[in-house]
């Protein structure tokens, strides 16, 4: 019963970690076309989505650890090792990708086009990292 609770929590937190980034894709085009006074509302939405994904990611990691400890998988299982490595790189990426770009866009004197390009690239790269991790968790490929 406890394993099912951990699994359910893990799945819901994965959805909450990945989902907001799909919402950010159309928001990027609205942000790019917005005027300065409207831009702040979009940036607030952007920050909230990133914050939600970040906190859901904390639950995702904890529930994943509990699943490995409770379940039959070993920490040396290839798909777990690769997922953890991607997770660590995505954490580093998340910390450096979004906040600086959002801060730059909030400054009226910044190069808006460059900041938008960087933010757009960050959304797609981070989404790709999340989807790769999701694939490893679902497919559980044996790599070695």
pLDDT in tens, 54-98: 899 999 999 999 999 998 899 999 999 999 999 988 888 877 788
Burial bucket for residue 58 (CB in 10 Å: 0-12, 13-18, 19+): exposed
Q: Which structural domain, as residue segments, surrounds residue 114?
A: 2-139
Cα 101 to the center of its chain, rounded Å: 16
Segment 11-23, tens digit of pLDDT: 999 999 999 999 9
Indicate whether 144 belongs to any domain.
Answer: no
pLDDT exceeding 70 applies to what percent of the chain? 100
Indicate whether 12 belongs to any domain.
Answer: yes
Indicate whether 128 belongs to any domain.
Answer: yes
Domain count across the chain: 1
Indicate whether 81 belongs to any domain.
Answer: yes
């Amino acid at each position: 019963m406890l394993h099912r609770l951990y699994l359910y929590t893990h799945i819901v937190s994965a959805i909450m970690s990945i989902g907001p980034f799909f919402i950010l894709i159309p928001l990027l085009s609205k942000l790019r076309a917005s005027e300065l006074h409207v831009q702040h509302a979009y940036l607030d939405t952007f920050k909230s989505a990133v914050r939600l994904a970040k906190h859901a990611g904390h639950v995702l990691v904890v529930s994943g650890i509990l699943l490995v400890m409770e379940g039959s998988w070993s920490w040396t299982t290839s798909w777990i090792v690769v997922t953890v490595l991607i997770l660590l790189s995505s954490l580093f990426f998340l910390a450096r990708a979004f906040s600086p770009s959002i801060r730059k866009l909030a400054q009226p004197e910044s190069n808006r086009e460059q900041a938008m390009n960087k933010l757009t690239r960050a959304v797609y790269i981070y989404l790709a990292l999340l989807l790769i991790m999701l694939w490893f968790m679902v497919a559980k490929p044996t790599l070695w």
